[in-house]
Amino acid sequence: MKVGIIGATGYAGAEIVRFLSFHPEAEIVWYGSRSYVDKKFSDVFGNMFQIVNDVCKGENIAELAETVDVIFTATPQGLCSSLVNEDILSKVKIIDLSADFRIKDISVYEKWYQIEHKSPQFIDEAVYGLCEINRDKIKAARLIANPGCYPTCSFLSIYPLAKEGLIDMNSIIIDAKSGTSGAGRGAKVNNLYCEVNENIKAYGVASHRHTPEIEEQLSYASGKDVVINFTPHLVPMNRGILITAYANLIKDIGNDDIYEIYHSYYDDEYFVRVLPDGVCPETRWVEGSNFVDVGIKKDDRTGRVIMMGAMDNLVKGAAGQAVQNMNIMFGLDESCGLNFAPLFP
């Protein structure tokens, strides 16, 4: 497969390059970057020295569509929707890492992201690329909305109990923590070393734009309209997401039974690892990988269940899941190019 990447010099785009540089069935022929046109990719990311010798090109999606089989758009919100059209989609598959096609209600998207949607005619067609849930739809798709990082970790941690109707969906509280790479590669004062180091803070309280995405997907899973409390926190590390979600149980079910449910949903999913009872997910055990580690604990005293998940925000939360989507779309093994152990230390 010939691959083009628009936004190749952001954190997520660079991760796609890292994975596909050693993918046995893919060849990157276009490294798109608005900021580094005509500059060698390895001059921007020295880790790719003598691995990638190509120079960065612009963002001409019309030219790109004539050249490649699939395009990854690892770009800010609004760009992909402004570029895509029927002619483009008739020639090439697109995997969009922005939020442009994740939310089906245009008014909700425009409210939370504060921008006008440029191609609403493709929203219904776009497939939400959460691989473990929408695998069959992904196979036939030509436009994939790659899920957000917080929504992926949150949803996979909660999904089995939501699907089984065992929790009060409007009692869900999600406490989430992420490393600084989740904010992207752009220079921002709040992400400077002295601003982040030795500190932890909440942000986007009651207003984070991943909230409606999580609510929408949990609504599909449970068959109910879901409203949640979602509070993210910034922690001084490069990578990783840890979510701790709380919900009221609506049926009397034991901890062992809960684990049995999770295993029934995920034992055949290579990238979702259900941890043993009593073991809590940790970001260090998933760093650099496409794995999501999930743990669950029933609190008998309060009648609540605590659902935990850890993953790498740049991999399963972005680039890794995008490559997993590509593998599904082209009939390859899902782990192709992603089958490696997490990094430690």
pLDDT tens digits for 212-240? 999 999 999 999 999 999 999 999 999 99
| pLDDT above 90 coverage of the chain, percent | 96
**CATH for 99:** 3.40.50.720
**85 lies in which domain range?**
2-125
**Nearest to 243, CA basis, from 258, 232, 235:** 232
Tell whether 173 and 307 lie within a shared domain. yes
| pLDDT above 70 coverage of the chain, percent | 100
Residue 187's pLDDT band (cuts 50, 70, 90): confident
**Nearest to 204, CA basis, from 231, 226, 168:** 231
> Are 173 and 229 within 8 A, CB to CB?
yes
| Active-site residue list | 149
Residue 98's pLDDT band (cuts 50, 70, 90): very high
Tell whether 252 and 306 lie within a shared domain. yes
Is the bond into 160 cis (omega within 30 degrees of 0)?
A: no
DSSP code of residue 192: S
pLDDT at position 190: 85
pLDDT at position 181: 92
Residues 112-144 as b/e (b if ≥16 CB within 10 A, e otherwise) read bbeeebebeebbeebbbbbbbbbeeebeebbbb
| pTM, to two decimals | 0.96
pLDDT at position 115: 97
The arithmetic mean of pLDDT across residues 106-121, rounded, is 97
Tell whether 158 and 302 lie within a shared domain. yes
Tell whether 72 and 30 lie within a shared domain. yes
The arithmetic mean of pLDDT across residues 135-153, rounded, is 98
**Nearest to 74, CA basis, from 156, 139, 18:** 18
Tell whether 103 and 43 lie within a shared domain. yes
Residue 188's pLDDT band (cuts 50, 70, 90): confident
Provide the 3-class DSSP secondary structure of residue 16: helix
pLDDT tens-digit profile of 249-259? 999 999 999 99
